[in-house]
Structure 1
Amino acid sequence: MRTNKQFADFVAKLSEKDDTFEISKRAFLCLAGTYRFGEVRIYYCVERPKYQEERVEHEVKFHLEIGAIDEKMTYVMERTTGEDGLMRFTVVGLKGARQWTDDEKADLEMMLTVYMWHIARYRLINLVEMSATTDYMTKLPNTNGFLDYAEQLDKTNTLVSFNSFYFNLKGFGLVNLKYGKPNADEILKKYTTKVKKFLLEDEMVARLGGDNFVALVHKERTREFLSFIEQVIVHIDINEHKQRVEIPAYTGVFEIGESLQDLGDIISQCSIALNTAKNITKKPYMFVTEEMNKKAIQDKEIRSHFKEALQNGEFKVYYQPKVETDEYRIVGAEALVRWVRDGEVISPGKFIPLIEADGSVCELDLYMLAQVCNDIRIWLSEGVEPVRTSVNMSRKHLANPDFPDQIIGMIDEFGIDHKYIEIELTETASDEEQGLLNTFMTKMREQGIKTAIDDFGTGVSSFAILRSFPVDVLKVDKSFIDSEFVGDNDAIVISNIVKMANELNLEVITEGVERWKQVIFLRQIGCKLIQGYLFDKPMPYADFTERLKMKKYDKKNIKDY
């Protein structure tokens, strides 16, 4: 029978900080003589049907070298784990030893149970340590793991022989929607396996989170890696059917040089180039430049001031009239945002893409709607007849199920008729977005709020919108009439857009009108509404109030812009 001291020694040995195999062996030796066993075997298996390459199967034998063993004298304990797995412990007795009594078997079970908790504790410690440098799902290094490796290269003066690549998987959110998250995770793991196979032994790739990755690749293999990463193809079995999945990527490249001062720049510099590729040039890859760095500093400053500017009312509504082509009456307006800071007007082109990227644009959109509603309420109270005003909304709102109610609630809060507001969105690309857009437009129509599609004719979904969506207004992109003379192809396209819109009883308005020749052409093809610098640039509230009182333009006073 065991003594408390023997068991205490067993537990104490398991607590030692040493090689786990030797710790276990020494611990079992504390009890082996008393309980007459010469070997302990541990079998561990985890089964995950959905992720078969994650199946773990492992067996360890602790041969205690205190005598020959008898395979016929065994005690087995099995336990399931929280990971759909099994642990089987087998204690093998010494040759010629007497069989264990029931009390001794109970002691052996206690010994194995304590040891199982030791294994769990050890695994937990390892997981915690690993999680500091490893991405759990892909088993790639994470940001810390990447920087640790870069530091090792830096200490051996070999880091300068590498370039760093920050790449973002293009449209991977749609992969999640199409195949479901479990399959998308499997696709991501297959993707990372392919990338790892492409790399040389001393090159590396890390997952920064989501669908963002960073790699260190030898400089002479830069073009080869960019060509590879531009589009990686993986295959996955879904419902017994092999699916081919193309995964393109945007990539930013930083050429690591001797002047590198901070290892963090290896990531931050190529992320600047990635942002340029993804959000500005739309090219598969970009190398970071000094101009990009300057812009990144400016962008950071703009982002840091956005919340404060919103609270301080620095965003102003500027109105651009919409004019009908018969008598040049002002029949509508578009509300456009201008950021006025310290007396300087910041162009929307400088800040809209930034806040669109981080989602802050949704706050600004609703702020603009509130300002427009308030202006309309003031005009009505002063006896000035307002016109229907379109307010631009980001497509990011569509994912918010409360978005329609937010718009309706805000208009009603200001006590104005729904007929005075028009909600303007750009064309959508994905099937899911189109479904959300259709639902949104239907709710708006039920409430008597007009909806418009901006930049119509430039996206892939133009004719699907005409056929299926309850849209009220089409805004034809200015690119169709931008040149000095409208070309034959553009004329055919815009003529047919206007014709279809009129036959479907939709309003159609062409923006970017700057010359009378364009007005004459648009009138000839049946476009009754126009907007552009020919009549007015966007103007502040006070100036637009005067335009509303004027009601229409005198042709004699209008000159080509």
Structure 2
Amino acid sequence: MTKKDSPHRAEIDYLRERVAYLEAANHWHHYAMDVLASMTSIFGDHRHNRDTQTILKCAHDCVIRVLTLEDAGYYIVDDDSNFNLAYRQPGCTDEELEAAVECLIDEGKFAWAINQNHPVCIHAGGRYPADTHLVMHVVSTRTRIRGMFVGRIRGTALRAAESGLKVLSIILFNTAYALESAALYALREQQHQTLRKITQRQSKELLHQHSHDTLTGLPNRVLFSDRLSQLMQRRGVPDGHIAVILMDLDHFKRVNDSLGHRAGDILIRRLAGEMRNTFLSAEVTRRYHLDVANVTLSRLGGDEFGIILDNVASLDLVARFVQQLIESISREHEVMDHQVFITCSAGISIHPFDGNDADTLIKNADAAMYEAKQRGRNLYQFYTKDLNSQTYRHLVLENQLVKALARDEFDIHYQPQVSLRTGKVEALEALVRWHHPEKGLLSPAHFIPIAEDTGIIEGLGLWVLKRVCEDMHRLREADIEPPRMAINLSARQFRQAKLVERYAAILKEHDISPHRIELELTESTIMQDIHVAVDMFRQLHQLGFRLAVDDFGTGYSSLNNLKHFPIHTLKIDRSFVSDTPHDRDDTAIVTAIVAMAKGLGLEVVAEGVENEEQLAFLKQLDCEFIQGYYFSKPLPFSELCEYLKAFSYS
């Protein structure tokens, strides 16, 4: 070949390459059109291919004809906007792809890819070879995102996939519409089925829902009251009685607060099943000379259950029945892998003695149940006629108590704690008082139990701490260095969420150091839940509060428990001090408590000291602090300043 022929030869080679390229492109074009023509299998218009799996399988069959993928997954978005893997390329079972997608979601790349509306390729990373990429493409119609396609592809295949990626967009666009269509078909079919079922069962379901509890399946309050009324109208045995028993769980709110309402529902449902199996069994009912038909078990709402016993031969049998009921419930129950100790209280009213209509019998049984709770819980109480008046008085007091804080009807009185070593008032115990608009000044014994039951105590406790902080500043303004302040914490306050944070915030707001405040908890409160108490004590201790155990000797704690608490002070209950030094037993108890406290390096405060003999006895024991009427009654702030200025003891 001559040099003259070289340009001509190059041109021929170029044309041949161009023709080959065009032929290949034409071949690819026909192939792609064939793939797209086969997409009719994707559409969810036929009954046999309306489910998600079928649609995604057909879509993937098209995709792998235009892309050489090592792995692929189709993620479908649910109603909560979560993307869930709905279909995986056959033969791919490892978790690498799913792990990679989780990383993309965490990094925000998944959300970025959704908004691109075209294929995006990124390095796969992880344990994949360096030339491995992930292809992502949103699966969406023009108005709604249905999901996301994620495919894994190697570099060589990716370079040859430019045209395939364009076809991928068309396939996934049609897939989105297929999913949309299938969803509409499914929704329509579901609606048709629902309407048919409602039509068929409407009367029966409405009647059952009206008369039965949805959680337990037991008769509800409506049916309970109706059955009671019917039984009273057709009493069969002249000498038989109808007993109405109302029972609810003690402190059930703790379960909901600590474990959640789902745990509470599980416990209620389980207890209902156990009571149904036990007290509606022939064996148990025969024991109380009853038939199964004589017993109606109902859930009245919340944690309250009702039982009707018809034709009961004697009140003794009723008492034995209720005692077994309480014993069967009052134990540990496992709920969601937690051990929960539950007790219950019950009230009983008897027809015809306690009422001649259903509402009266239920109301009186409820009053009796409330009385059982007032007497300490985990027991039963028969209705007596004076209970209604007590319940009414309690309700009135509760309503007044709710408004008392807003009306600023509370006050703080302070009782000094005197050091026998220094002769000074080293601390003041803050004792809340209620200036009742009708009853005058009320001590805590009249309203703290009600405040505890209703939850008012939580707000009242925060108010007390704020007032104490304010009074400490007022003492300084009166040129009196405020002693340490002792504040009582009730059982409910102790379990209050964010107690530590709220107390810390109040002290910071008033610029009071935590070590100037001593928090007192009764021994019985601490013993209710040792682990919770230890944790709370440590939090308060780390914050800087001083901690005291009040009414020591009455809560049945052991030294093994006591040593775990970061406490500073033991307060000897006044019941032990009042008869010293004449009562041998009380004298021995007080002596032992003082000796034990000294051995543990704790300060001791003796409460209820009222005379010289008690003072001399305690001084002989080297008891550090004395509190009681011997030195002073609890004083309002107006009298406290004068008392502190004039006080002298040596």
What SS is found at the alignment partner of 1:311? Answer: coil
CA positional deviation for 1:351: 1.4
Work out the percentage of aligned pairs sharing the same amino acid.
Answer: 28
Aligned to 1:209: 301
Structure 1 CA distance for aligned equivalents of residues 616 and 265 of structure 2: 57
Aligned to 2:358: 263
Aligned to 1:536: 632
Query: Quick one: which of 510, 516, 535 aligns to 1:420?
Result: 516
Structure 2 CA distance for aligned equivalents of residues 122 and 532 of structure 1: 76
Aligned to 2:40: none
Alignment of 1:69-108 (within 5 A): none
Deviations 1:367-406 (A, max 9, x none): 1111111111111122111111111122223333411011
On the 8 A contact 1:232/1:246 being kept in 2, the answer is: no
On the 8 A contact 1:190/1:234 being kept in 2, the answer is: no
On the 8 A contact 2:250/2:377 being kept in 1, the answer is: no
Aligned letter for 2:363?
A: S
Aligned letter for 2:556?
A: V
User: Which consecutive unaligned segments of at least 5 residues does structure 1 have?
Assistant: 1-109, 555-561
On the 8 A contact 2:332/2:341 being kept in 1, the answer is: no
Q: Which runs of 4+ in 1 moved over 4 A?
A: 110-113, 120-129, 157-160, 170-178, 180-183, 233-239, 243-248, 428-432
Aligned letter for 1:538?
A: P
**Is it true that 1:499 corresponds to 2:586 in the alignment?**
no
On the 8 A contact 2:580/2:586 being kept in 1, the answer is: no
On the 8 A contact 1:369/1:391 being kept in 2, the answer is: yes
Aligned to 1:304: 399
Structure 2 CA distance for aligned equivalents of residues 488 and 455 of structure 1: 20
On the 8 A contact 1:314/1:339 being kept in 2, the answer is: yes
Aligned to 2:480: 384
Alignment of 1:155-194 (within 5 A): 155-156=233-234, 161-169=241-249, 184-185=267-268, 187-193=270-276, 194=278
Aligned to 2:576: 480
Structure 1 CA distance for aligned equivalents of residues 502 and 226 of structure 2: 47
Residue 188 to residue 294, structure 1, CA distance change in 2 (3 Å): same
Aligned letter for 2:351?
A: I
**Is it true that 1:319 corresponds to 2:414 in the alignment?**
yes
CA positional deviation for 1:468: 0.4
Aligned letter for 2:241?
A: S
Aligned letter for 1:277?
A: A
Alignment of 1:288-437 (within 5 A): 288-326=383-421, 328-342=423-437, 344-428=440-524, 433-437=529-533
Aligned to 1:142: 220
Aligned to 1:516: 612
On the 8 A contact 2:451/2:457 being kept in 1, the answer is: yes
Aligned to 2:327: 231
Aligned letter for 1:382?
A: A
Aligned letter for 1:131?
A: Q
Structure 1 CA distance for aligned equivalents of residues 350 and 628 of structure 2: 45
CA positional deviation for 1:317: 0.6
Larger radius of gyration between Structure 1 and Structure 2: 2
Structure 2 CA distance for aligned equivalents of residues 234 and 282 of structure 1: 11
Deviations 1:82-117 (A, max 9, x none): xxxxxxxxxxxxxxxxxxxxxxxxxxxx99984564
Structure 1 CA distance for aligned equivalents of residues 597 and 363 of structure 2: 48
Structure 2 CA distance for aligned equivalents of residues 246 and 111 of structure 1: 48
CA positional deviation for 1:282: 5.1
On the 8 A contact 2:329/2:344 being kept in 1, the answer is: no
Moved more, 319-328 or 282-291: 282-291
Alignment of 1:18-33 (within 5 A): none
Aligned to 2:178: none
Residue 533 to residue 129, structure 1, CA distance change in 2 (3 Å): farther
Aligned to 2:563: 467
Structure 2 CA distance for aligned equivalents of residues 419 and 206 of structure 1: 53
Q: Which has the higher helix share?
A: 2
Count of residues paired in the alignment = 445
What SS is found at the alignment partner of 2:355? Answer: coil
What SS is found at the alignment partner of 1:149? Answer: helix
Aligned letter for 1:231?
A: E
Deviations 1:276-308 (A, max 9, x none): 222225572222223322221111111111122
CA positional deviation for 1:366: 1.0
CA positional deviation for 1:328: 4.0
Structure 1 CA distance for aligned equivalents of residues 197 and 542 of structure 2: 63
Residue 432 to residue 298, structure 1, CA distance change in 2 (3 Å): closer
Moved more, 515-524 or 537-546: 515-524
Structure 2 CA distance for aligned equivalents of residues 134 and 427 of structure 1: 44
Structure 2 CA distance for aligned equivalents of residues 314 and 261 of structure 1: 42
CA positional deviation for 1:469: 1.1
Moved more, 153-162 or 413-422: 153-162
User: Which consecutive unaligned segments of at least 5 residues does structure 2 have?
Assistant: 1-187, 286-290
Residue 161 to residue 261, structure 1, CA distance change in 2 (3 Å): closer
On the 8 A contact 2:521/2:550 being kept in 1, the answer is: yes
Moved more, 180-189 or 305-314: 180-189
Q: Which has the higher strand share?
A: 1
Structure 2 CA distance for aligned equivalents of residues 126 and 424 of structure 1: 58
Moved more, 182-191 or 213-222: 182-191
Structure 2 CA distance for aligned equivalents of residues 236 and 323 of structure 1: 45
Aligned to 1:195: 279
On the 8 A contact 1:482/1:512 being kept in 2, the answer is: yes
Query: Quick one: which of 223, 230, 234 aligns to 1:152?
Result: 230
TM-score under structure 1 normalisation? Answer: 0.70
Structure 2 CA distance for aligned equivalents of residues 252 and 385 of structure 1: 53
Residue 384 to residue 126, structure 1, CA distance change in 2 (3 Å): farther
CA positional deviation for 1:541: 1.0
